[in-house]
């Protein structure tokens, strides 16, 4: 059995600790089908092969490692290896590494599964390259139209279809994959917690109860591109000013709707020169709340506020992705919590592939305490003891489920 621990981290996390480091942003930038992500996939395939698992990539780019013959009614565990720009070491990889570690433990103990089991790595969970989060699970389950997925573009204008070809995926075969879905009896995703729930409870682990409704919108502002020195302030139609006002509106709209969250984390000025008044500015809005209606009300409020904000500029707000509130199967969550000695259940504001799959197959999640309470940032963390408790929990659940 490979050693679980290396350099104070789960061994798998330590093995990939140098892959995709982002020197500019800090943390990791591991984006779909870019060199770092290819390296992570190769690492996963090698690690899985060492355990005697059979690795296959499905037609949507998700990677499966089968312990024994594939499905039906398989227990599938896993998460993702891609990251946000400048992300932490745990969001995604902790679930993958813990899944491999749990399988290694069971094998070392001579455990023989009574039903099929696979470790699954989803593609483009963060949507950092093509803009739609959980793209691999959305495609697998048919939650996104394949044509829409094919036409998504990255920042260089490369379409998802074009990038798929370079990764050996035939874009004509993207979309709902009934054969793969039929193999899943249950999907279980272990994930680092991304808030302070477990810190406040003083507990290392929880099962997930629900995920906030959330979506992404592109706010676009157009004006007149012009010279920064030759254009009088009174003569400008500057979409950057319209965008700046809109960003303040986003904060005000969310503050006016208690419990909701709205963020602009990415902005792009075109053409983007220090001495150029932009002709257009795009700002991406991420909005979340407990109910679908609340998110839609916040976004409607933002859309109304951002119109006609700055002389000569126009604004549009266009939805790019949407996920309704997810309530995980309470009976399944309670059963798993009980098997783990009565651990608590927690809601989350973060999206997950498990949340997408929950509409299609029995699904549950386990959260591991994050002592910083910070995520999507290099400060994201989990202690080795808590990570080991997570592996132990997967080990216990697999013994019960397999
Ligand atoms: C994924 O981590 C998300 O919640 O955006
Ligand atoms: Mn994330
Ligand atoms: Mn994640």
At 3 the pLDDT is 65
- Shared-domain flag, residues 17 and 151: yes
- Shared-domain flag, residues 274 and 342: no
The average confidence (pLDDT) of the chain is: 97
- Shared-domain flag, residues 148 and 282: no
The residue range of the domain holding 156 is: 3-212+325-401
Tally of structural domains, the chain: 2
- Strand, helix or coil at 164? helix
- The average pLDDT across 264-284 equals 98
Q: How far is CA 20 from the centre of its chain?
A: 17
pLDDT over threshold 70, residue 157: yes
pLDDT over threshold 90, residue 2: no
CATH number at 224 reads 3.30.70.360
CB 224 within 8 A of CB 385: no
Report the nearest-CA residue for atom 5 of ligand 1: 351
Chain segment 324-364, per-residue pLDDT in tens:
999 999 999 999 999 999 999 999 999 999 999 999 999 99
At 173 the pLDDT is 98
- Strand, helix or coil at 361? coil
Alpha-carbon gap, residue 66 to 54, rounded angstroms: 5
Task: For the chain, give the percent of residues with pLDDT over 70.
Answer: 99
At 163 the pLDDT is 98
Choose one of 266, 301, 323: the last residue of a domain: 323
Q: How far is the CA of 143 from the centre of ligand 2 (A)?
A: 19
Choose one of 293, 323, 353: the last residue of a domain: 323
CATH number at 190 reads 3.40.630.10
- Shared-domain flag, residues 124 and 222: no
- Shared-domain flag, residues 96 and 191: yes
- Shared-domain flag, residues 256 and 147: no
For residue 126, which atom of ligand 1 is closest to its CA?
Answer: 1
Please list the alpha-helical segments (H only) found in 228-341: 239-255, 292-306, 330-339
Q: What confidence category does residue 4 fall into, taking pLDDT thresholds of 50, 70 and 90?
A: confident
Q: What confidence category does residue 1 fall into, taking pLDDT thresholds of 50, 70 and 90?
A: very low
208 vs 253, 358, 365, CA distance in Å?
28, 12, 5
- Shared-domain flag, residues 334 and 217: no
The model's pTM is: 0.97
Q: How far is CA 53 from the centre of its chain?
A: 25
For a ligand 1 pocket test, name from 82, 126, 286 the mutation site with the most ligand atoms within 8 angstroms of its C-beta.
126
pLDDT over threshold 80, residue 238: yes
Ligand 3 ion: nearby residues, β-carbon < 5 Å: 91-92
At 303 the pLDDT is 97
List of long-range contacts for 246-254, beta carbons under 8 Å, 24+ apart:
246/219, 246/221, 246/283, 246/302, 246/305, 246/306, 246/309, 246/315, 247/283, 249/302, 249/305, 249/306, 249/309, 250/285, 250/302, 252/305, 253/298, 253/301, 253/302, 253/305, 254/287, 254/298
Chain segment 58-86, per-residue pLDDT in tens:
999 999 999 999 989 999 999 999 999 99
At 306 the pLDDT is 94
- Strand, helix or coil at 47? helix
- Shared-domain flag, residues 159 and 239: no
| Between 317 and 3, the higher pLDDT residue | 317
- Shared-domain flag, residues 204 and 219: no
At 309 the pLDDT is 75
CB 160 within 8 A of CB 151: yes
- Shared-domain flag, residues 129 and 18: yes
- Shared-domain flag, residues 252 and 297: yes
- Shared-domain flag, residues 50 and 179: yes
Chain segment 173-227, per-residue pLDDT in tens:
999 999 999 999 999 999 999 999 999 999 999 999 999 999 999 999 999 999 9
Alpha-carbon gap, residue 258 to 260, rounded angstroms: 6
- The average pLDDT across 33-54 equals 98
Q: Which ligand neighbours the alpha carbon of 350 most closely?
A: 1
Task: For the chain, give the percent of residues with pLDDT over 90.
Answer: 96
Chain segment 360-399, per-residue pLDDT in tens:
999 999 999 999 999 999 999 999 999 999 999 999 999 9
Q: Which ligand neighbours the alpha carbon of 94 most closely?
A: 3
Choose one of 305, 323, 341: the last residue of a domain: 323
Q: Which ligand neighbours the alpha carbon of 88 most closely?
A: 2
């Amino acid at each position: 059995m490979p050693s679980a621990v290396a350099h104070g981290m789960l061994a798998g996390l330590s093995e990939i600790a140098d892959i995709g480091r982002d020197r500019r942003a800090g943390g990791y930038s591991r984006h779909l089908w870019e060199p770092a992500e290819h390296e992570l996939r190769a690492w996963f395939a090698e690690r899985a092969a060492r355990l005697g698992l059979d690795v296959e990539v499905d037609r949507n780019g998700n990677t499966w490692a089968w312990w024994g013959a594939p499905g039906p009614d398989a227990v599938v565990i896993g998460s993702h290896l891609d990251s946000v720009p400048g992300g932490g070491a745990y969001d995604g990889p902790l679930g993958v590494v813990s899944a491999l570690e749990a399988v290694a433990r069971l094998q070392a103990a001579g455990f023989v599964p009574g039903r099929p089991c696979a470790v699954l790595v989803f593609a483009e969970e963060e949507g950092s390259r093509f803009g739609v989060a959980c793209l691999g699970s959305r495609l697998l389950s048919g939650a996104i139209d394949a044509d829409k997925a094919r036409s998504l573009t990255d920042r260089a204008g490369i379409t998802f279809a074009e990038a798929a070809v370079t990764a050996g995926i035939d874009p004509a075969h993207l979309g709902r994959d009934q054969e793969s879905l039929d193999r899943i009896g249950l999907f279980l995703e272990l994930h680092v917690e991304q808030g302070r729930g477990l810190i406040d409870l003083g507990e290392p682990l929880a099962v997930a109860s629900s995920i906030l409704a959330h979506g992404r919108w592109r706010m676009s502002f157009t004006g007149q591109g012009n010279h920064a020195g030759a254009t009088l302030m009174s003569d400008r139609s500057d979409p950057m000013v319209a965008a700046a006002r809109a960003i303040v509106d986003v904060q005000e709209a969310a503050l006016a709707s208690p419990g909701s969250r709205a963020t602009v984390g990415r902005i792009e000025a075109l053409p983007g020169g220090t001495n150029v008044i932009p002709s257009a500015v795009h700002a991406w809005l991420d909005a979340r709340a407990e109910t679908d209606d609340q998110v839609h009300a916040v976004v409607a409020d933002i859309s109304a506020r951002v119109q006609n904000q700055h002389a000569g500029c126009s604004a549009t707000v266009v939805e790019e992705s949407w996920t309704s509130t997810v309530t995980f199967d309470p009976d399944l969550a309670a059963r798993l919590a009980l098997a783990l000695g009565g651990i608590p259940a927690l809601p989350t504001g973060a999206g997950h592939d498990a949340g997408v799959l929950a509409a299609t197959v029995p699904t549950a999640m386990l959260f591991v305490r994050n002592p910083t309470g910070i995520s999507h940032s290099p400060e994201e963390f989990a202690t080795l003891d808590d990570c080991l408790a997570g592996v132990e929990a997967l080990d216990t659940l697999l013994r019960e489920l397999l």
